[in-house]
């Protein structure tokens, strides 16, 4: 199977290094710098070779225009897949007869190798049997965790990933800033950060929630707010604490869900 990956970003770099097939990275503008684990080819020369599958590892807004340009360069029977978590499959031009999606649920950075691709979840979608068969073959070589989801399901999962990954990283940055402002070593938080992440086992996270808000400890929360002299951080603390209070679960009833609070101050948190 001969595969082309269009794009030269983070995901293209990782796919090029892990696919167990002859793979070529196709660049649209400037030739990528050294260090790519495969052959390189300009988009203008794609028609010189035969392809069994093409992956569009390009920004979401580029999927439609790049696929339209691709349609004049390669046969329309070649299966074409995009790699976005949030973009509908139909953003690939319908000129192609076999379309699909392969989205790895992972933050990827060029140059940082992933040692456990077999454990990395892949989300697939296909239009028709040919695309589904190609995706099944390729994904089976990469991972043992495969899920077939439609556009809406994949978009919801991508949104959930933003909350559980990107937003959590932003909160780490807040913690780092608070430590830096007061000459406190951020490294002291690394064990609890790792412990919290590794303690997630698929059960409802609220069952493992700890801290002042989970206890309804308004006195401690007020002391925390007094320490925060950055308005944005105060607002963030109040919003997240309200959310924790909303989902606080009594130990005797794991299915209990508290109704949302209308006003943070009504709970005695100033």
In a domain, 270, yes or no: no
Total domains present in the chain: 2
Same domain, 136 and 234: no
The Cα–Cα gap between 40 and 57 comes to 14
- 202 is in which domain, residue-wise? 154-252
Same domain, 189 and 225: yes
Same domain, 161 and 118: no
Look up the CATH number of the domain holding residue 161.
1.10.1040.20
Q: What is the pLDDT of residues 91-127, one digit of tens each?
A: 999 999 999 999 999 988 887 877 788 999 999 999 9
Same domain, 29 and 138: yes
pLDDT score of 53 more than 90: yes
3-state SS class at 153: helix
Helix axis angle, 231-246 to 218-227, nearest 10°: 160
Same domain, 242 and 196: yes
Residue written as token pair 């809406």: 152
Which stretch of DSSP H or E encloses residue 23? strand 23-27
Look up the CATH number of the domain holding residue 124.
3.40.50.720
Same domain, 111 and 164: no
Size of the chain, expressed as the number of residues it contains:
270
Q: For the whole model, what pTM was predicted? A: 0.87
Same domain, 168 and 75: no
Q: Residue 262 — very low, low, confident or very high, per pLDDT cuts 50/70/90?
A: very low
The Cα–Cα gap between 39 and 110 comes to 17
In a domain, 257, yes or no: no
Q: What is the pLDDT of residues 211-261, one digit of tens each?
A: 999 988 999 999 999 999 999 999 999 999 999 988 876 554 455 455 444
Same domain, 135 and 94: yes
In a domain, 62, yes or no: yes
């Amino acid at each position: 199977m001969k595969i082309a990956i269009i794009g030269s970003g983070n995901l293209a770099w990782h796919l090029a290094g892990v696919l167990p097939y002859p793979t070529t990275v196709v660049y649209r503008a400037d030739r990528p710098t050294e260090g790519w684990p495969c052959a390189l080819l300009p988009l203008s020369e794609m028609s010189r070779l035969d392809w069994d599958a093409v992956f569009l590892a390009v920004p979401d807004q580029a999927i439609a225009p790049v696929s339209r340009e691709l349609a004049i360069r390669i046969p329309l029977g070649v299966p074409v897949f995009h790699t976005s978590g949030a973009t509908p499959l139909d953003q690939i031009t319908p000129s192609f007869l076999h379309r699909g999606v392969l989205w790895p649920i992972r933050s990827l950075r060029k140059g940082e190798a992933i040692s456990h691709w077999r454990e990395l979840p892949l989300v697939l979608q296909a239009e028709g049997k040919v695309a589904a068969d190609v995706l099944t073959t390729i994904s089976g070589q990469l991972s043992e965790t495969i899920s077939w989801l439609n556009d809406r399901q994949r978009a919801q999962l991508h949104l959930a990933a933003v909350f559980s990954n990107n937003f959590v990283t932003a909160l780490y940055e807040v913690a780092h800033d608070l430590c830096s402002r007061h000459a406190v070593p951020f490294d002291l938080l690394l064990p609890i950060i790792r412990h919290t992440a590794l303690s997630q086992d698929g059960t409802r996270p609220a069952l493992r929630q700890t801290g002042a808000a989970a206890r309804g400890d308004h006195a401690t929360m007020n002391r925390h707010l007094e320490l925060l002299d950055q308005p944005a951080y105060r607002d963030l603390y109040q919003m997240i604490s309200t959310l924790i209070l909303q989902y606080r679960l009594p130990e005797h009833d794991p299915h209990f869900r508290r109704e949302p609070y209308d006003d943070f101050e009504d709970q005695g948190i100033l």
